[in-house]
């Protein structure tokens, strides 16, 4: 597996880890050994990890997990960047997918019309987009089209990073959910509520069961999606709100879920993107 670091980037130098070797060991041991589907060709993925708003401490952890995922499973070939130079029609033509790793306020990073059109046009043309956690903390109102593409915009996190929250599998038969052996589970992570979210445009895979918490959100129907897939033009989008806490990135079933989501967006795993109704009367 060959992974690249763009020459104008020294990725992650601004972040420090207390025990980087110990963290890498935990991630590696938790990582799936093989892809769910062996790709028919090399999948080249551009991974962007620069925050233009709040800087999550888990950004380097997520980048490290994505690197180890690529090395251990050979599901894709990663290129890491903290700058925006590659986000042009020409630059993106080398890749099959873009991953936004916890990068807040992308509307501040991509201010030029040509950059925005290159990103959205890349996906519409049949390529893939994958976003983790605060990749949805951006877009509107300055870049509404980005919010429309990813599926919603951060509107607060009533369920904070220190709590342990109840989740349920909304679509048990979807291949991106194959990692979940139970239909309900609890983990600790920071969970968003959204604005400009429309369930009819997404296929929600994992939901938060807010009725089992003491927190109230902004949804009248208690509809709080956590992971979803969608189609965007001829391209595919996978997004997961998980990823605020470092430990998320060495949780085995979540790493499998992330890998399957990436492979689904790339087209290696087949599965529907058509919306389904809420599966619970919350």
Tokens matching residue 36: 């769910």
Domains of the chain by start residue, with CATH: 4-266 (3.40.50.880)
pLDDT value at 145 more than 70: yes
Query: Mean pLDDT throughout 194-217?
Result: 96
What was the pLDDT predicted at 280? 76
CA 28, chain centre distance (Å): 19
Q: What are phi and psi of 27, to 5 degrees?
A: -65, -45
What was the pLDDT predicted at 155? 95
What was the pLDDT predicted at 153? 98
Tens digits of residue pLDDT in 107-142:
999 999 999 999 999 999 999 999 999 999 999 999
What was the pLDDT predicted at 281? 60
Query: Mean pLDDT throughout 19-32?
Result: 91
What was the pLDDT predicted at 21? 81
Percent of the chain with pLDDT over 70: 93
pLDDT value at 13 more than 50: no
Tens digits of residue pLDDT in 42-95:
999 999 999 998 899 999 999 999 999 999 999 999 999 999 999 999 999 999
pLDDT value at 7 more than 70: no
User: Who contacts 178 (Cβ-Cβ below 8 Å, separation ≥6)?
Assistant: 36, 256, 260
pLDDT value at 8 more than 70: no
Better pLDDT: 252 or 7 = 252
What was the pLDDT predicted at 279? 81
Tokens matching residue 95: 């890749």
What was the pLDDT predicted at 210? 94
Q: What are phi and psi of 269, to 5 degrees?
A: -105, 130
What was the pLDDT predicted at 282? 61
What was the pLDDT predicted at 194? 97
What was the pLDDT predicted at 19? 66
What was the pLDDT predicted at 83? 95
Tens digits of residue pLDDT in 221-251:
999 999 999 999 999 999 999 999 999 999 9
How would you label 96-133 residue by residue, b for 16+ Cβ within 10 Å and e otherwise? bbbbbbbbbbbbebbeeeebbebbbebbeeebbbbbbb
Q: Are strands 164-169 and 97-101 parallel, antiparallel or unpaired?
A: unpaired
């Amino acid at each position: 597996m060959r992974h690249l670091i763009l020459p104008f980037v020294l990725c992650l130098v601004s972040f420090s880890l207390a025990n980087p070797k110990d963290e890498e060991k935990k991630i590696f041991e938790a990582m799936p050994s093989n892809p769910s589907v062996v790709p028919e060709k090399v999948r080249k993925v551009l991974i962007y990890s620069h925050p233009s708003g709040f800087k999550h401490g888990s950004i380097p952890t997520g980048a490290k997990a994505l690197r180890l995922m690529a090395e251990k499973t050979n599901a894709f070939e990663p290129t890491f960047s903290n700058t925006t130079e590659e986000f042009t029609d020409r630059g993106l033509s080398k890749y099959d997918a873009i991953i936004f790793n916890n990068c807040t306020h992308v509307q501040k990073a991509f201010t030029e019309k040509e950059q925005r059109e290159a990103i959205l046009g890349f996906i519409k043309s049949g390529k893939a987009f994958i976003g983790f956690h605060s990749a949805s903390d951006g877009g509107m109102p300055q870049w509404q089209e980005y919010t429309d593409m990813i599926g919603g915009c951060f509107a607060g996190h009533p369920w904070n990073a220190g709590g342990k929250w109840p989740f349920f599998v909304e679509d048990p038969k979807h291949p991106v959910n194959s990692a979940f052996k139970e239909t309900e589970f609890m983990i600790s992570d920071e969970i968003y509520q959204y604005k400009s979210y429309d369930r009819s445009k997404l296929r929600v895979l994992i939901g938060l069961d807010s009725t089992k918490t003491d927190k109230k959100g902004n949804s009248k129907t208690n509809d709080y999606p956590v992971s979803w897939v969608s189609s965007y033009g001829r391209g595919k989008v996978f997004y997961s709100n998980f990823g605020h806490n470092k430990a998320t990135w060495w949780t085995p079933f979540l790493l499998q879920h992330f890998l399957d989501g990436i492979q689904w967006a790339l087209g290696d795993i087949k599965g529907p993107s058509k919306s389904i109704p809420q599966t619970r009367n919350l």
